Chain A
Amino acid sequence: MAEKPIISIEKVIKNYPVGGKEFRALKDITLSINKGEFAGIVGPSGSGKTTLLNIIGSLDVPTQGEAHVLDKNIAELSHNEAAKLRNYNIGFIFQVFNLLPVYTVFENVEFALLLQKNTVEQRRKAVYDALEWVGLQDHANKRPDKLSGGESQRVAIARAMVKRPKILLADEPTANLDSENAHGILKTMKMLNKELQTTFLFSTHDEKVMGYLDRTIHLRDGALEKDIIENKTTSV
C-alpha cells in the first residue's frame, strides 16, 4: 500500500486583492508530495511559487480548494494550531536569512527549541548537532552581522533543522549567495534530506538548485505547468 502523501494540495486557488481587483496568484493547483522528497517549485517571478509555499507552511490559506499538510487542513487551523504545526513540523529557510540580529548564532538556532518544552541540556545538544551539520560549531557565539551570506544561510538551515521538522520549506535559499556558497548549502541540505528523511520543498528559479532536485514542479502564471519526477515527466 502506497504511503499517504505528507503534503496534499487539491484544486487550490489563491486570490489577492490588488488595486481594488482580485488577482489570482494560484490557479487550480493539485499536487502531492511524499515524505523524504527533495522537490522544488520552480518558475519565473510572479508564478506563485512563494504563495504556494506559504500555504503549505500554514502562513496563508487558500481562497478555494484544500491544502493538507501532515493530515491537517490548513484552512481549518486556528492561529495557535497553525503556530504549533510550524513549531514542531515545519522549518523555514528564507531568501534573506531572517536571522534575529540581537541574538548570537547559538541563540538564533536555539530559538525554535525555546518554543518547545526541552531541557537546557537537550537544547544545547540539539543546537550543537545542528551547527555541526552546517559546519558552524565554531561560530556559535557570533552575531549575525559578523557572518558572511553563506554562513548566515547555514545558520538559517541549522535553525530550521534543529527541531527535526518533517518538512523544510526553503524560499529562494540561494538567491543571495554566490555559486560556491550556493552549492555548499545545497549539498548540506541534500545530506540532511538523506540522513534525516526530512522532506525538502524549495521555491526557486535558480538553475543550480534545480540540479540538485529529485523533483521539479513547474508553475507559470499561477498554474501548474509540469511536474518532473527524476526522469518521469508529467505535463499538466
Chain B
Amino acid sequence: MKLALKLAFKNLWGAGTRTVLNVLVLSFSFVIIILLNSIMDGWDQQAQKDSIVWEFGEGHLLHKQYDPLDSFTILDGHGPIPKNQLGITPILVYQATIYPQGRMKGIVLKGIDSNQTILELPIEKVKTSEAKFPVIIGKRLAESAKLNKGDEVQIRWRDKNGTYDANTLTIVDVFDSNVPNIDNGQIWMDIKTLWKMTDLNQEASFFVADKNYKAEALPLWRFKSQEALLKQLKDLINQKKTGQAIIYLLLMAIALLAVFDTQILSIFRRQKEIGTYIALGMTRSRVVRLFTIEGSMYSILALIVGSIYGIPFFMYLAQVGFAVPPADQKMGIAIAEVIFPIYGIKLVLSTILLVVISATIVSYLPARKIAKLNPVLALKGKQQ
C-alpha cells in the first residue's frame, strides 16, 4: 500500500497539468457539497430554533375541532381552559376583518396572555399601551396591510352569538420574526381583551406547552409534540436538500467523469509502463491497485487543495453568514435574512467519504482492464 501510494503520488506529480485540473474540479465539488449542505443545516437548525421559540414551544395542545391549517375550524375549534393543567399558555384564535386605508382584509386575531414567557412574541408591549385595543403585528402583515407602529386600523368581527361588532385597533409594535406562521395575516393581542371582544371568556383554541407540561388525557384536547410540529418544516428542508443534492451530484459527476477520462487515457497511453511494471515482477492485481490508488489520490489531493481555499472561505462565511434574498423570505417558511452555515463533523466526514469512495470507484472501473492486458503487447505499447 505504501509503495502504491508513493508510486501513485509520483505519477500524479509527473502528470502535471492533468492532475492540477482534475484536482481543482474535484476540490470544487468537495467545497460546494460542504457549502450547500452546511447552509441547509444552518437553515434547518435556525428554522427549528426560531419555530420553537416563536411558535411551537414544547408542543401544542389543540382543541379537537381546531385545525391550524383549516380556517373553517376556527369558529367551533375552541373550548374552556382545563383546570389544574400546568405548563400551558392558552391562545384563542378568532376571525375578523380589518380595513387598512379603507380596504378590506381578512385576518386572524390571536389572543395570548400578555405575561407569557414561553414564546418570544413581544406581547408584553400591549400592557404599557393606553390604547383601548392595543395589538402587535409582524413585519409581513405590516408590509402587506401597509400598517406601521402607532397606526390605528378599523376592525370588524362577530361575537360568539354572531353579532357584528367593530372598533379601532392600535398597532403598538411591529415585531420582526423569521417565522411567517405567526405573522402573515395575524394580529396578536392580550387574550383577556379578545375574551371581552368575543365573549368567549376563559376559552382557548390551543395551548403552547412549556417544560412543565405533563401530558394528560383531556377529552376536548389533543397534544401535538414539538417533534410532530417540526415534521412539516423538516420535510420541507429535506425536500430542498434533495433538490440541492441533484445540483452537487451533477457537479461531482462532471468531476468524476474527468477522473474517469484521465484513467482511461492513462491506461491507453501508459501501456508500455504497465508492461514494464508486470515485467519487473508486479502482479496484475497490484498494477490495478496502483492505478486505482492513483485515481483515488485525486480525491485526497482535492481534499487538501479544497481545504486550503475552502477552510478560510467557510470560516469567513460562518462569521458573516449567507444572505437570503428577500423573495425567499416570503416563501412562508421559517427563514432568516442571514443563514449561518453549520459545518458538522458528520457533514465533513460524509462528504470526504462520498468524494473519496466515488473517485476510487471511477478509478477502479477502467483500471480493471489492466488485469486482462497481454503484457507482451503492453510492452510494445500496442493498443488492446
CB–CB A102/B376 < 8 A: no
> Among B10, B13, B281, B286, which residue has its beta carbon within 8 angstroms of that of A112?
B281
Residues of chain B with a CB closer than 8 A to A59's CB: 278-279, 375-376, 379
Cα separation A111 to B272 with both chains bound (whole Å) = 16
Report if A101-B283 is in contact (Cβ < 8 Å); known contacts: A59-B375, A59-B379, A60-B376: no
> Among B15, B283, B284, B379, which residue has its beta carbon within 8 angstroms of that of A94?
B379
CB–CB B10/A87 < 8 A: no
> Among A92, A94, A102, which residue has its beta carbon within 8 angstroms of that of B11?
A102
CB–CB B10/A102 < 8 A: yes
CB–CB B279/A57 < 8 A: yes
Interface residues as binary, A108-137 with B (CB distance below 8 Å gives 1, 0 otherwise): 000110110000000000000000000000
CB–CB A86/B284 < 8 A: no
| Chain A residue with the shortest CB-CB distance to B287 | A83
Least Cβ–Cβ distance between B278 and chain A, in angstroms: 7
CB–CB B13/A102 < 8 A: yes
CB–CB A84/B281 < 8 A: yes
Cα separation A107 to B282 with both chains bound (whole Å) = 15
Across chains A and B, which 5 residue pairs bring their CB atoms closest together, nearest first?
A87-B281, A102-B14, A83-B283, A86-B281, A98-B276
Least Cβ–Cβ distance between A201 and chain B, in angstroms: 14
- The CB with the most chain B CB atoms within 10 A, among A92, A101, A102, A103, is that of A102
Residues of chain A with a CB closer than 8 A to B15's CB: 102
Q: Is A88 an interface residue (CB 8 A)?
A: yes
Q: Is A21 an interface residue (CB 8 A)?
A: no
Q: Is B69 an interface residue (CB 8 A)?
A: no
Chain A contacts to B: CB under 8 angstroms: 54, 57, 59-60, 79-80, 83-84, 86-88, 92, 94, 96, 98, 100-103, 107, 111-112, 114-115, 159
CB–CB A112/B280 < 8 A: yes
Q: Is B273 an interface residue (CB 8 A)?
A: yes
Q: Is B3 an interface residue (CB 8 A)?
A: yes
Residues of chain A with a CB closer than 8 A to B13's CB: 102
CB–CB A115/B273 < 8 A: no
| Chain B residue with the shortest CB-CB distance to A159 | B280
Residues of chain B with a CB closer than 8 A to A98's CB: 272-273, 275-276, 279, 379
Cα separation A101 to B11 with both chains bound (whole Å) = 9
Residues of chain A with a CB closer than 8 A to B279's CB: 57, 59, 86, 92, 94, 98
CB–CB B283/A80 < 8 A: yes
Residues of chain B with a CB closer than 8 A to A96's CB: 272
Cα separation A79 to B236 with both chains bound (whole Å) = 56
Report if A88-B273 is in contact (Cβ < 8 Å); known contacts: A59-B379, A60-B376, A103-B10: no
CB–CB B283/A92 < 8 A: no
Residues of chain B with a CB closer than 8 A to A80's CB: 283, 285
Cα separation A101 to B14 with both chains bound (whole Å) = 8
Task: Identify 13 residue pairs between A and B in the complex whose beta-carbon atoms are under 8 Å apart, listed by A's number.
Answer: A59-B376, A60-B375, A79-B284, A80-B285, A83-B286, A86-B280, A86-B281, A92-B279, A98-B272, A100-B276, A102-B15, A112-B281, A115-B286
- The CB with the most chain A CB atoms within 10 A, among B10, B278, B379, is that of B379
Least Cβ–Cβ distance between B119 and chain A, in angstroms: 66
Cα separation A54 to B11 with both chains bound (whole Å) = 27
Q: How many A-B residue pairs have CB under 8 A?
A: 61
Report if A92-B376 is in contact (Cβ < 8 Å); known contacts: A100-B273, A101-B14, A102-B13: no
CB–CB B10/A114 < 8 A: no
Residues of chain B with a CB closer than 8 A to A103's CB: 10
- The CB with the most chain A CB atoms within 10 A, among B11, B14, B279, is that of B279
**Besides the contacts A102-B15, A107-B10, what 19 more A-B pairs have beta carbons closer than 8 Å?**
A59-B278, A59-B279, A59-B375, A83-B278, A83-B281, A83-B283, A83-B286, A94-B279, A96-B272, A98-B272, A98-B276, A98-B279, A101-B14, A102-B11, A103-B10, A112-B281, A114-B3, A115-B281, A159-B280
> Among A54, A83, A159, which residue has its beta carbon within 8 angstroms of that of B282?
A83
CB–CB A88/B281 < 8 A: yes
Cα separation A54 to B376 with both chains bound (whole Å) = 7
- The CB with the most chain B CB atoms within 10 A, among A83, A88, A92, A159, is that of A83
| Chain B residue with the shortest CB-CB distance to A94 | B379
Residues of chain B with a CB closer than 8 A to A100's CB: 273, 276
CB–CB A87/B14 < 8 A: no
Cα separation A94 to B375 with both chains bound (whole Å) = 13
Cα separation A92 to B275 with both chains bound (whole Å) = 11
Cα separation A112 to B11 with both chains bound (whole Å) = 17
Residues of chain A with a CB closer than 8 A to B3's CB: 114-115
CB–CB B280/A87 < 8 A: yes
CB–CB B280/A111 < 8 A: yes
Residues of chain B with a CB closer than 8 A to A88's CB: 281
Cα separation A139 to B338 with both chains bound (whole Å) = 61
Least Cβ–Cβ distance between B151 and chain A, in angstroms: 76
CB–CB A115/B10 < 8 A: no
Cα separation A84 to B273 with both chains bound (whole Å) = 18
Residues of chain B with a CB closer than 8 A to A57's CB: 279
Least Cβ–Cβ distance between B223 and chain A, in angstroms: 67
Residues of chain B with a CB closer than 8 A to A79's CB: 283-285
Least Cβ–Cβ distance between A157 and chain B, in angstroms: 14
Residues of chain A with a CB closer than 8 A to B278's CB: 59, 83, 86
> Among A60, A102, A115, which residue has its beta carbon within 8 angstroms of that of B280?
A115
Interface residues as binary, B276-308 with A (CB distance below 8 Å gives 1, 0 otherwise): 101111111110000000000000000000000
Interface residues of B in 229-286 (CB under 8 A from A): 272-273, 275-276, 278-286
Residues of chain B with a CB closer than 8 A to A87's CB: 280-282
